[in-house]
Structure 1
Amino acid sequence: MIDTSGSNGCIDCNHRAAIFKHLNKDELNRIDDTRYILSFKPGEQIVKQGAPFSYVLSFTSGLAKIIVEGSAKPDMIVKLVKPVEFIAGPGLFVDNRHYFSVVALEKSCVCAIDTYVFKDVLRRNHNFNEAYLSAVNQNYLFVMQKLISTFEKNTKGRVAEALLYLANDIYHAEAFNLTFSINDLASLSGMSKESAFRCIKDFGDDDIIRMSKKRIEILNLKLLTEISKKG
């Protein structure tokens, strides 16, 4: 982790999360005075589940995974984080603890903002407060939908859903290079590595996708979408 504090003020920043558009110059300057820009290498932990909520994070570059750590079952990747997203959770206003971990998949940067200042600005700015609640609720709905899919869909349906998520929401292309392992793809799909590998192989045999090393190309988007929906 590298501290690069002092780079680019909040007012002129081109990598601000959408919720910050509701702040005036004085509010942005106040946040700017207490923030740090932190850089992480692939594999480095950005947030640790259970750790104190000392800072809220605005993700400005790279790619990371949000993990829910379980005591008995393997950890589950609930979603990926890309620029310019805001990383927050319910613990900020409950017990001041993080309820998930965040790990960098690529070289990544975040703006870390002091929680005391952030909360105070939230209390004083109604529009900013609403935007923050909307962002948190959207993440909550995403996680809820993922849990429903995990319980309702079979393994092929879950892998198909994960591949469509990567194509549509992360890489924005039907052919892309994975920047993480098959283990991570399995965790994102809520299954073992062996089950995920079998599904990938079956999709390849059926000419639904083509996979070479870490490059995936979706050959039959319509069929993959049907598999995802029907599960």
Structure 2
Amino acid sequence: MINPKQQRIFERHLAHVPGSHILKASEYKKVVSCLHYKKIAKGQNLVDQHDDRNYTFILKKGFLKIRSFDAKEDASYVSFLSPNMLFPLRGMFVDSRYCYTVTALTNAEVIFIPTKTFEGLLKSNHKFSLMIIKKMQEVVSEEEIFIQRALTPSATKRVEQVLKYLNNHHGIELEGGRQIPFPLTIKEIATIAGTTRETAGQVIHELVDETELEYSRKYLFFPEIYTEEA
């Protein structure tokens, strides 16, 4: 449990979280009373796939990677979380365990409440539940658009679509272009694109040669020309 000083700090933070204004005074007080805070070091897992789904999180600072693993312990799904994102949305009222592993790509900070408290708010507050449904719809729509664009037999095109998606959704403005603010391996890019590491590496190498992309120490940088075309 957070101490009184931290509580005041994160009360202010909660005030800027989308949807917090919808909560009734009694609900807001209940959330604050059971609020937790945690720092996660780069490379550390916040939760593991199949852990009990005890908490619902808001990412306050940093970036997280989510991965689902198949029976062979290979990553079958990879995605990323940016600050102020609420998770997990998938599995509410249904799953008793987390469906993916969450790992810190950078040093990160989260605040979280018990899942039962969060789901209780969804049951008791109609406006809050509608807000969460809309948020889920936005996520689903983005995923559908990405899938539609990535439905091509060309592995090269799929890798290019993944790079554009990462740039549009996670890129931050720097002088001369945009950078993905967390490290990405070629294998992870290949997994998202549904292709091999060799193919993803070849596409990235070609884009680097054409000065449309920079890839150094696992960080992607998109020069202005590439960003404008994306």
**TM interval, short-chain normalised:** 0.7 to 0.9
**How far apart are 1:49 and its partner, in Å?**
1.8
How far off its partner does 1:198 sit? 0.8
The aligned counterpart of 1:176 is 179
Shift of 1:68: 1.8
Counterpart of 1:13, as a letter, is: H
Q: Contact 2:45–2:103 at 8 Å: present in 1 too? A: yes
SS state of the match for residue 215, structure 2? Answer: strand
Which one of 218, 223, 226 corresponds to residue 221 of structure 1? 226
CA change 1:222–1:117 in 2 (3 A) is: closer
**Contact 1:175–1:215 (CA under 8 A) maintained in structure 2:** no
2:155 aligned residue? 155
Q: CA deviation at 1:86?
A: 0.3
Output the CA distance in 1 between the equivalents of 2:203 and 2:217.
16
Q: Is the 8 A contact 1:166 1:172 kept in 2?
A: no
Letter in 2 for 1:100: Y
Structure 1 residue 194 displacement after superposition? 2.1
Q: Which residue of 1 aligns with 2:205?
A: 201
Identity %: 18
The count of aligned residue pairs is 222
Instruction: Trace 1:1-231 onto structure 2 (pairs within 5 A).
Output: 5-6=2-3, 7-9=6-8, 10-13=10-13, 16-72=16-72, 74-152=74-152, 154-173=154-173, 174-176=177-179, 179-182=182-185, 183-219=187-223, 220-221=225-226, 225=230
Q: Given residue 7 of structure 2, which amino acid in structure 1 is its aligned partner?
A: N
TM-score, normalised to structure 1, is 0.82
Of residues 54-63 and 142-151 in structure 1, the stretch that sits farther from structure 2 once superposed is: 142-151
Change (3 A) 1:223 1:28: closer
Most deviating of 124-133 and 95-104? 95-104
Contact 1:123–1:129 (CA<8 Å) still a contact in 2?
yes
Q: 1:176 to 1:73 in 2, by over 3 A?
A: same
Instruction: Report deviation, 1:177.
Output: 5.7
User: 1:180 is aligned with what amino acid?
Assistant: P
How far apart, CA to CA, are the structure 2 residues paired with 1:200 and 1:91? 35
Do the aligned partners of residues 78 and 216 (structure 1) sit closer, same or farther apart at CA in structure 2, a change above 3 Å counting? closer
How far the C-alpha of 1:66 sits from its partner, in A, is 1.6
Compute the displacement of 1:30 (Å). 0.4
Distance 1:51 1:211 in 2: 35
> What TM-score do you get using the length of structure 2 for normalisation?
0.82
Moved more, 19-28 or 30-39: 19-28
C-alpha distance in 2 between matches for 1:186 and 1:24: 45
Q: CA deviation at 1:47?
A: 2.2
- What are the ranges of 5 or more consecutive residues in structure 2 without an aligned counterpart? none
1:149-192 Cα distance to aligned partner (Å, 9 max, x none): 55435222222222223322212333326522323333333333
SS at match of 1:152: coil
CA deviation map 1:81-133 (0-9, x unaligned): 01101012332211322222211100111112112222222211111011112
The separation in 1 between residues aligned to 2:210 and 2:68, in whole angstroms, is: 33
Question: Cα–Cα, structure 1 residues 92 and 83, in superposed 2: closer, same or farther, change >3 Å?
Answer: same
CA deviation after TM superposition for structure 1 residue 21, in Å = 2.7
Structure 1 residue 215: deviation in Å? Answer: 4.7
Amino acid at match of 1:205: D
Change (3 A) 1:85 1:16: farther
**What is the Cα-based RMSD across aligned positions, in Å?**
2.7
Q: Which moved more, 1:147-156 or 1:84-93?
A: 147-156
